[in-house]
Structure 1
Amino acid sequence: MRPLHLPHRNPTSSLASYRLTAREPTMSPAHPPRVSVIIPAYNSMPELTKCVTSVMEQTLGPDEIEIIAVDDGSTDGTGPELDRLARTCSHMRVVHQPNSGGAGGPRNTGLDLAGGDYVFFLDSDDYLGPDALRRMVAMADENRTDVVLGKMVSVGGRAVPTAVFSHNQPRTDIFSSAAYRTLGCWKLFRRSLVERLGLRFPPYRNCEDKPFTAAAYLNADGISVVADYDCYYSRNRQNGNNLTLTAADLVHRMDGTRLCFETVARYLEPGPRRDRIMRRHVEWELCGPLRALLPRESEQRAREYFYPQFRDWARSYVSDGLFRSLTPPDRLIVHLLRTDRFEDLMTVTRNAKEDAARGNVVDKGRVYWSHPFFRDPDKAVPDDCFDVTDRIPVHHELAEAAWTGDGDVLRLTGHARIESLGPLQPTTRLILRPHGFRHPDIPVPAAVGTAPQAGDDPATGFTVDVDLRTVDAGAPLGDGLWDAYLDVRAQGISRTVRLRTTSTDTDGRRATPPRRELNADVRPGEPATARPFFTAHGHFSLEVRRTDAGAASPVTDVAWDPSRRATLVVSGRLDDEAGGPRPTALRAEADRGSVREVPLRYARDDSRSFTARMPVGKWRPGRWTLTLRTDAPGRRLPVPVTRELSGTRWFRASRLGRPYYAKPLRNGPRGALMLRVAPIRLVAAVRRRLG
């Protein structure tokens, strides 16, 4: 694949256009830095000093960092301050160059000089946490990833992304995380990736970093996220001259937006994956700025300059699948662009705020946005542009979960409503959904019209009695983890949401009913317990397990055979004191029902030690749960999850040598080990490796 050369590279980044300070770094070529920190600076006082010193004070150590600060024609003392700081740090160099008009030019200058294994772009307004670079480099080294996102922190109210930083992610990608929501370049990039792609920043005053970061994401061999440490502090300047504020007009965004669309189209083939990534640009770079900024322009400039570009992007990059995934306001804008209706588009953008507050109308089981264009015969806009059925908010809260008396009935009370649709219908119901194993959903009727707490509206109240003895079509609830959902119904509209509670005590905890021993008369010979609990996000779940299922597993080791990469070896030893059923076979059950078994081989000289060798090379793709079958009918013991077990890869001869992989998962039923088996996507793998 040809390298991506972002167009219009700034000529001020050439070696002839800048001068270095007298002090040069003393770092030996035999010991290149781990990180080159590139700081573009233009009239950056007084924030600049803290920015640079935050790099000098990194725990990674000065021998592992080079600082390249580029003074982009400043007139406020930025240049002299950089020179002063460089005299105190032998690993800092300063470049002075004529003003380029944006941050891309000085960043390119820094890239031309960088010698580190990684590059990190730090804006002169901002600063780093002391341990930021060490943590990010360690994350990249340990997981062999090409891009690392460090948690961003807002200083003084500047907006920063939050969704991607909910938890650490050692290795992910843009399809499995929220990483693509943040396209700022304030990240750690493996320099070999940047140079292999020929990446440089275009000379735009706004959105210049989005195409750069997008291209890196789309070609990265893995992305990491450091979320448990405040790495990057983002702040507004005291004088208010941040580029994002002074270059916020529509004209400053157009070139960068065009290049974003072109970059995604270059690296992703048409289809759902491209639609998922392209949607971000349609929402954030097309519809959002068009709605907010186009009405500020003169009608002539809007019609002749901006509108043709927006129309071309809507026609070229918004597939029908992507169109259906958009919100109704965005769908309406894209439809008007596609159908070349400039006057109607201007009407919609000028009245966007007023129209967003309009209510909804229900018709034949669907909910529509009550926009003035809805079913206006003169406008002839399709109903699909206004359909909000699957997006209308559902407000609900589980107020209490408690056992009733001494029986096996769990009572759930709360309130729920579909926004603007009135009281609950009697057909509202609870749904118990299996987590990680195959079983049909179990519906449980709800009684509506009750007020769970004083002051609640009875029309939105519900009560559900879950009788664990008969809930599954007259049978007791089976073993496993069950997630609770609420099928909320009003005016013929049905929306299903995960049942949850937001209320906590002063320690941030949520009260749950105690674990309960289930009625032995209903489950003869199968003593079991039910454990209601809330997840970290407040979602309600219920675990049912045999009482002895939590006993210590006899398995002592799970590993891949070093001589046969597609063979899993499970070893164990029975407790000398423990009674109970004797394991006889290693069993693997797929989520689609297929079963594989191999016998346990007990040692001749030790009748309590066993080993089993399970070949996985011919398993069908899917999730496989591993248990030990015992000599007691219907009794199985889970093979426990082990942190030491990694994934493995092999070639399947029957599939023309196609590579497959098996990867351990952590959410098997009753704590059992689960393996995901799937073919390796060759095209994606080759793209990551070769670019």
Structure 2
Amino acid sequence: MPRTTPPRVSVIIPAYNAMPEVTECVRSAMEQTLGPDEIEIIAIDDGSTDGTGRELDRLARICSRLRVIHQPNSGGAGGPRNTGLDLACGDYVFFLDSDDYLGPDALRRMVAAADENGTDVVLGKMVSVGGRAVPTAVFSHDQPRTDVFSSHAYRTLGCWKLFRRSLIERLGLRFPPYRNCEDKPFTAAAYLNADGISVVADYDCYYSRNRRNGNNLTLTAADLVHRMDGTRLCFETVVRYLEPGPRRDRIMRRHVEWELCGPLRALLPREDEQRAREHYYPQFRQWALDHVTDGVFHLLAPPDRLIVHLLRADRYDDLMTVARHARRDAARGHVVDKGRVYWAHPFFRDPAKAVPDVCFDATDRTPVHHDLAGAAWAGDGDVLRLSGHARIDDLGPLQPGSRLVLRPSGFRHPDVHVPLMLDGRVPVVFAAAPQQPVPGTDEQAATAEGGSGATRFTVDVDLGTAASGAPLGIGTWNVHLDLRAQGVSRTVRLRQPRTDTDGRSSTPLPRERILGSRPEPVTARLHFTAEGHLALDIRRAGTASEPTCRVTAVAWEAPGTLVVSGHLTDEAARRPHPVALRAEEDSGRVREVPLSYGADGGRAFTARMPLAKVRPGRWALTLRTDGGGTPIPVPHTHRLPGTRWFRASRLGRPYYATPLPHPPSGVLTLRVAPIRLTAALRRRLARTRQGHGRHP
């Protein structure tokens, strides 16, 4: 029976000589829990000669949702993906390589994330099969709505993601005809124009593997001849969609590291000398001149800074020397001078080379290893005792002046510093996740004096006097370590221990405690954030006292303008009262408007929050109190309808705001997003058909 409604997802599978992996790949799409009516599978046989085409035809005979296209070999995955895009009808598109396969519930979870959060791109957790490298940082925790500036999403530019098809068509995106790097410009353009990105990290969505026959394109087309066009297009894509400035610099850094410096270091020395000097080197140099601003330069690690400097200075012979000996020179260790750490590369302070020190400065990248070994309440007082071990690579024992730093989150207050008690050095195998190595370090070659042992520390934080003799303020405090060694200072977030050498988790956190040093009931709770960072919450006991205010009404004054009204309670005379209505988006962006009180000092207040110009996202509404105390949630109400308006700055495009039906913690949360005209028309047609069905 012909399909009458579009599918939710079009799964596009490019396949070339993909036996036997293609069978499991296609079956993983056929067996998705999303439902047979919600998926179409488009498999493109790109001129296979190993029976891949016949196997796809066999699978199509048992699955009506599978459509097989046979075409002459195009030389890369981009061509067959474009064929699939031209045929796709789904609300979303998912690109599945024929080597790989999906978890059974992957598409349902990703579609739900896109629908719930109004996002255009969804990343599903990737899993390595057989040792193939996959990104991990972006999948540390679920992210309902984020962007490339607030997450690690841009570190993974493979196209194995869920894309809203209307975004692809609006941008006219197609894959260029390159054998390598063809998906990076495509994904970059989608990222930089997406109305939000979701990350599904609590389920294994995508299983990535190498083929048994070893003919993955990433392996067979790894030379520079296959990479240069795609690299050029990556740089051009960033320039096209981002204005110059810090935001572009942050994105451009990724391409300078992975598409310029990495291949130059690893691949350029393999090329024929004349071709390397006359063909590839000028292209690399031009990219460095055009795209590595000073802002990008200072974001790079020392080995990449050195390469960029030599490119800018047009020093081909020195550049090739650095590239040829990169592996050897990475193990040369560090030099400490006047509180700075420098990579001890042969060019460092060589008068004949005259390379600036900044090219070797590794101070901010010197790895810090730490382990939280204990956390407990000390005695009957309000003292939190933390203990553990820490060291800065190659810098010997920690020095006095090392301290714990409590940094306020979401409210204004000076940092609180508490000195560490240092108890000497002990051998420690750190359980924390490995950090990105600093070029020039060699853990095994470190001497006993230089870095094989850590310093044991203990710190007692008296919550009643920590803030310069005053109690630690109400709110969330992020916990940092500020470590000193050989005059070098490094500050890092204190992280959750992973597993010990026996594979067991360690350091359970103490239970929430009611603090006895306060005139009002206050609790303290130590916890780990979703990212694994240690944080301390100081909160007023939930049932001990009346709130300082009550919200009595929430309504739309006009399309796009929300009005919140309420009044103070008697408790406001003893505690900070609300001064502003605050809207906070999932990625951390904040909008505030002041509360208006009666001129006669009355207790009633009103606030008008214009939402017509906020960026799309999920915005949680709270009342900020004077002095930066705990925000007061604006309660969710089923009486508040949605609203629509037209945004003049977007050529009259319609937008909407609607309350989430089940917001986190009961806080009124509004979803703000553009109305997708095709989806709205489809829903209207569906309602019309349903109406006709009820009233023939």
TM-score (norm 1): 0.80
Return closer, same or farther for 1:304/1:71 CA change in 2, 3 Å cut-off.
same
Residue ranges of structure 2 left out of the alignment (5+ in a row): 431-451, 583-589, 677-696
For 2:528 and 2:84, locate their aligned partners in 1 and report how far apart those are by CA, in whole Å.
Answer: 50
For 1:534 and 1:481, locate their aligned partners in 2 and report how far apart those are by CA, in whole Å.
Answer: 12
Confirm or deny that 1:639 pairs with 2:632. yes
For 2:658 and 2:506, locate their aligned partners in 1 and report how far apart those are by CA, in whole Å.
Answer: 33
CA deviation map 1:49-97 (0-9, x unaligned): 2222222222333333222222111111112222222222333322222
**CA displacement at 1:315 relative to structure 2:** 0.8
What's the counterpart of residue 203 of structure 1?
177
What's the counterpart of residue 435 of structure 2?
none
Return closer, same or farther for 1:402/1:199 CA change in 2, 3 Å cut-off.
closer
Aligned match for 1:271, one of 245, 252, 262:
245
Q: How many residues align?
A: 627
Confirm or deny that 1:511 pairs with 2:515. no
- Which residue identity does 1:511 align to in structure 2? P
3-state DSSP of counterpart to 1:448: strand
Return closer, same or farther for 1:180/1:503 CA change in 2, 3 Å cut-off.
closer
- Which residue identity does 1:222 align to in structure 2? G
Confirm or deny that 1:134 pairs with 2:108. yes
Bigger shift: 204-213 or 481-490?
A: 481-490
Return closer, same or farther for 1:447/1:136 CA change in 2, 3 Å cut-off.
closer
Contact preservation (8 Å) 1:567, 1:613: no
Contact preservation (8 Å) 1:503, 1:510: no
Confirm or deny that 1:193 pairs with 2:167. yes
- Which residue identity does 2:608 align to in structure 1? P
Contact preservation (8 Å) 1:585, 1:599: no
3-state DSSP of counterpart to 1:390: helix
Return closer, same or farther for 1:285/1:58 CA change in 2, 3 Å cut-off.
same
Confirm or deny that 1:526 pairs with 2:523. no
Aligned match for 1:312, one of 276, 279, 286:
286
CA deviation map 1:137-190 (0-9, x unaligned): 333233332222222222222222222222333332222222211111122222
Superposed, which structure 2 residues align to 1:74-153 within 5 Å?
A: 74-153=48-127
Aligned match for 1:561, one of 536, 555, 560:
555
Confirm or deny that 1:613 pairs with 2:606. yes
Return closer, same or farther for 1:249/1:638 CA change in 2, 3 Å cut-off.
closer
Aligned match for 1:502, one of 456, 477, 497:
497
Aligned match for 2:473, one of 471, 478, 486:
478
For 1:366 and 1:327, locate their aligned partners in 2 and report how far apart those are by CA, in whole Å.
Answer: 15
Aligned match for 1:165, one of 136, 139, 151:
139
3-state DSSP of counterpart to 2:201: strand
Bigger shift: 177-186 or 556-565?
A: 556-565
Bigger shift: 323-332 or 454-463?
A: 454-463
3-state DSSP of counterpart to 1:563: strand
Aligned match for 1:431, one of 405, 423, 428:
405
Contact preservation (8 Å) 2:635, 2:668: no
For 1:78 and 1:265, locate their aligned partners in 2 and report how far apart those are by CA, in whole Å.
Answer: 40
What's the counterpart of residue 692 of structure 2?
none
**CA displacement at 1:483 relative to structure 2:** 2.6
For 1:592 and 1:231, locate their aligned partners in 2 and report how far apart those are by CA, in whole Å.
Answer: 35
Confirm or deny that 1:384 pairs with 2:381. no
For 2:426 and 2:464, locate their aligned partners in 1 and report how far apart those are by CA, in whole Å.
Answer: 25
For 1:47 and 1:298, locate their aligned partners in 2 and report how far apart those are by CA, in whole Å.
Answer: 36
Confirm or deny that 1:408 pairs with 2:405. no
Return closer, same or farther for 1:354/1:643 CA change in 2, 3 Å cut-off.
farther
3-state DSSP of counterpart to 1:497: strand
3-state DSSP of counterpart to 2:43: strand
CA deviation map 1:602-628 (0-9, x unaligned): xxxxxxxx985333459x999996268
What's the counterpart of residue 255 of structure 1?
229
For 1:165 and 1:672, locate their aligned partners in 2 and report how far apart those are by CA, in whole Å.
Answer: 27
- Which residue identity does 1:544 align to in structure 2? I
Return closer, same or farther for 1:450/1:411 CA change in 2, 3 Å cut-off.
farther
What's the counterpart of residue 626 of structure 1?
623
Confirm or deny that 1:588 pairs with 2:580. yes
**CA displacement at 1:36 relative to structure 2:** 2.3
What's the counterpart of residue 373 of structure 1?
347
Return closer, same or farther for 1:568/1:637 CA change in 2, 3 Å cut-off.
farther
Superposed, which structure 2 residues align to 1:325-344 within 5 Å?
A: 325-344=299-318
**CA displacement at 1:468 relative to structure 2:** 3.2
**CA displacement at 1:418 relative to structure 2:** 1.6
CA deviation map 1:452-510 (0-9, x unaligned): 89999997233323233433222333333333222111111111122345167988463
Contact preservation (8 Å) 2:391, 2:453: no
- Which residue identity does 1:330 align to in structure 2? D
For 1:50 and 1:99, locate their aligned partners in 2 and report how far apart those are by CA, in whole Å.
Answer: 22
For 1:660 and 1:79, locate their aligned partners in 2 and report how far apart those are by CA, in whole Å.
Answer: 46
3-state DSSP of counterpart to 1:203: coil
Q: How large is the RMSD of aligned CA atoms in angstroms?
A: 4.4
3-state DSSP of counterpart to 1:561: strand
3-state DSSP of counterpart to 2:417: strand
3-state DSSP of counterpart to 2:508: coil
Return closer, same or farther for 1:196/1:584 CA change in 2, 3 Å cut-off.
closer
3-state DSSP of counterpart to 2:395: coil
What's the counterpart of residue 11 of structure 2?
37
Confirm or deny that 1:354 pairs with 2:310. no
For 1:480 and 1:515, locate their aligned partners in 2 and report how far apart those are by CA, in whole Å.
Answer: 14
Return closer, same or farther for 1:516/1:582 CA change in 2, 3 Å cut-off.
closer
**CA displacement at 1:369 relative to structure 2:** 0.7
Bigger CA radius of gyration = 1
Confirm or deny that 1:345 pairs with 2:311. no
Contact preservation (8 Å) 2:593, 2:607: no
- Which residue identity does 2:538 align to in structure 1? V
Confirm or deny that 1:468 pairs with 2:460. no
TM-score (norm 2): 0.79
Return closer, same or farther for 1:559/1:453 CA change in 2, 3 Å cut-off.
farther
3-state DSSP of counterpart to 1:569: strand
Bigger shift: 199-208 or 335-344?
A: 199-208
- Which residue identity does 2:556 align to in structure 1? P
- Which residue identity does 1:369 align to in structure 2? W
Return closer, same or farther for 1:153/1:600 CA change in 2, 3 Å cut-off.
farther
What's the counterpart of residue 22 of structure 1?
none
**CA displacement at 1:47 relative to structure 2:** 1.2
Return closer, same or farther for 1:551/1:128 CA change in 2, 3 Å cut-off.
farther
For 1:545 and 1:418, locate their aligned partners in 2 and report how far apart those are by CA, in whole Å.
Answer: 34
For 1:128 and 1:181, locate their aligned partners in 2 and report how far apart those are by CA, in whole Å.
Answer: 21
Return closer, same or farther for 1:54/1:471 CA change in 2, 3 Å cut-off.
closer
Contact preservation (8 Å) 2:23, 2:55: yes
What's the counterpart of residue 598 of structure 1?
597
Contact preservation (8 Å) 1:586, 1:614: no
- Which residue identity does 2:472 align to in structure 1? L
**CA displacement at 1:346 relative to structure 2:** 0.7
- Which residue identity does 2:455 align to in structure 1? T
For 2:326 and 2:576, locate their aligned partners in 1 and report how far apart those are by CA, in whole Å.
Answer: 68
For 1:675 and 1:439, locate their aligned partners in 2 and report how far apart those are by CA, in whole Å.
Answer: 27
Residue ranges of structure 1 left out of the alignment (5+ in a row): 1-25, 602-609, 666-670, 686-691
**CA displacement at 1:556 relative to structure 2:** 7.8
- Which residue identity does 1:190 align to in structure 2? R
Contact preservation (8 Å) 2:372, 2:507: no
For 2:521 and 2:118, locate their aligned partners in 1 and report how far apart those are by CA, in whole Å.
Answer: 47
**CA displacement at 1:355 relative to structure 2:** 0.9
What's the counterpart of residue 422 of structure 1?
396
3-state DSSP of counterpart to 1:368: strand
